[in-house]
Amino acid sequence: MSTLLTLEHISKSFPGVNALTDISLQLQEGEVHALLGENGAGKSTLMKILCGIHRPDQGDIVIRGKSCEFHNYHDAIAAGVGIIFQEFSLIPYLNAVENIFLGREIRHWGLLDRSTMRSKAAELFKRLNVDIDLDVPVDHLSVAEQQFVEIAKALALNANILVLDEPTATLTPSEADHLFRIMRELKSQGVGMIFISHHMEEIYEICDQVTVLRDGCKVGECAVKDVEVDALVEMMVGRKIENSFPTKEIRPAETKVVIDARCIQLHKEAPANSFQLYEGEILGFAGLVGSGRTELVLGLLGATPVYQKVVSVNDEAVALKSPADALGLGIGLLPESRKKEGLILPFSIRENITLNNLRKHSGKGGLIDRKHESESVNELMAKVRVKAPDGETPVLNLSGGNQQKVVIARWLNHECRVLIFDEPTRGIDVGAKAEIYRLMKQLTSLGVSIIMISSELPEVVGVSDRVAVFRQGRIVATLEGDAVNSNEIMRYATGGTSDEQYH
């Protein structure tokens, strides 16, 4: 194999932050090279330098033996570098063909040659062995199909170096398997790939080499087959994580029912579901993708209309016609997409934490008592262990794990006694995951009740006190004690077989 890419002694600083210090990395033809590290370790900064979005303070980018200087993303594309960002860069109202050729449309006599572009797009998807509807806007496609459009777009630019940033974060296991098959095909064609993921099992399934970053420095590089998982995790976090999941406590037999939800029916033909949430417990919602977990929660909170529901909170019947009603009763939702639905990214930590309950910090005349607000925010930041210089730090500058903690702090500021976590650790590194789990357990020890929707089966088993298993929109079992294990959850989630993959 010949060397496709060499990053030599790359360093980069931002005001007050040393983002990268003397990073070197080599990528061979037909190799998948994993780039690992906690959120904030410098992975994204390094890849943005490779793709021309940032310029290094020092160091060189060498492609096929030739030193390159990228002033922008177009320079990187011209040199054969393509990146598939975790957040897609597609135009939602354009179709796949229009997205692939956006800015480089094929013309004939000055007119768009739609036939040729369509034909070339079809060839790209044939190469990827995927069937994509070329006529619909891409926002009508599934997340996996949009992912494949991004890859086709990069291949259309003749990229032989691909950067895949958390490509499986929103894919089902079967879709991820399809992506890995495509990656193996691209490997056989000599394409080199840099693969960023927080899922260790994926590193061992698809990657050849691994480079580990910590605090902007390179702390290790080796062949994947030569290193154990524990050693990689220790390199990433700088310490051993003996057990990511906290010890489960035995719930007392006479525990107060906080939420009693009966006959929640999303529409007339939908099944009617019932469940109870006890004080101080974590109730897991498990099931395959599309099994109705999030939909039931949104219906419960009044975020989406339902055909019928009967809900009691602390033994009192409630209507819950809107999320505002739920919040008024001390029920807070940490949504699946914290960046789109849970936070206002340009706002500071302080503003994000207090925006739902500013009256709590109002002084004479209804004006905000800034001193009281700041003191309260500092206490909450310390309580949930937000790592940031101060409360005025913009949330967009935080890692994924710290952003999640800010959302938790907001609902604690609102004195919520019920928290609903939807995919609480998606896109979060192993060290931050362990912190989130400990924080959840700490909250339940104080009497807070948690519903956790998760697509990670080890997380469901490791964290939940009880598990409600969903299949095709229906809660088919509620498991507790020794029954909270992978086999039992899979048996109910798949209708008695283990052939379907969990997500």
Is pLDDT of 437 > 80? yes
Which of 92-101, 215-224, 227-236, 334-343 comes out lowest in average pLDDT? 334-343
- Token pair for 271: 């099944």
Which of 65-79, 95-109, 293-307, 488-502 comes out lowest in average pLDDT? 488-502
Residue 87, pLDDT score: 64
Digit-coded pLDDT (tens) for 457-468: 888 999 999 999
Q: Which helix (H) or strand (E) holds 474?
A: strand 474-480
- Residue 361 in domain: yes
- Residue 343 in domain: yes
Q: Specify whether 110 is located in the same domain as 194.
A: yes
What SS3 state is found at 479? Answer: strand
Domain region containing 383: 337-416
Q: How many Cβ atoms sit within 10 Å of the Cβ of residue 64?
A: 15
Question: Cβ neighbours of residue 293 under 8 Å, at least 6 residues apart?
Answer: 285, 286, 287, 453, 470
Digit-coded pLDDT (tens) for 305-323: 999 999 999 999 999 999 9
User: In the listed set 222, 237, 252, which residue is the last one of a domain according to the structure?
Assistant: 237
The b/e string for 150-162 (b: 16+ C-beta within 10 A; e otherwise) is bbbbbbbeebbbb
Q: Specify whether 74 is located in the same domain as 141.
A: yes
Q: Specify whether 271 is located in the same domain as 398.
A: no
CATH, residue 90? 3.40.50.300
Q: What are phi and psi of 302, to 5 degrees?
A: 85, 10
Q: Specify whether 380 is located in the same domain as 403.
A: yes
- Rounded Cα distance between 87 and 66, Å, is 31
Q: How many Cβ atoms sit within 10 Å of the Cβ of residue 459?
A: 21
The number of folded domains in the chain is 3
Residue 496, pLDDT score: 59
Q: Specify whether 341 is located in the same domain as 486.
A: no
Digit-coded pLDDT (tens) for 197-246: 877 888 999 999 999 998 889 999 999 999 988 888 888 877 655 556 77
- Residue 496 in domain: no
Q: Specify whether 221 is located in the same domain as 258.
A: no
Mean model confidence pLDDT for the chain: 87
SS3 labels along 181-199: HHHHHHHHCCCEEEEECCC
- Residue 432 in domain: no
Digit-coded pLDDT (tens) for 143-153: 778 888 888 88
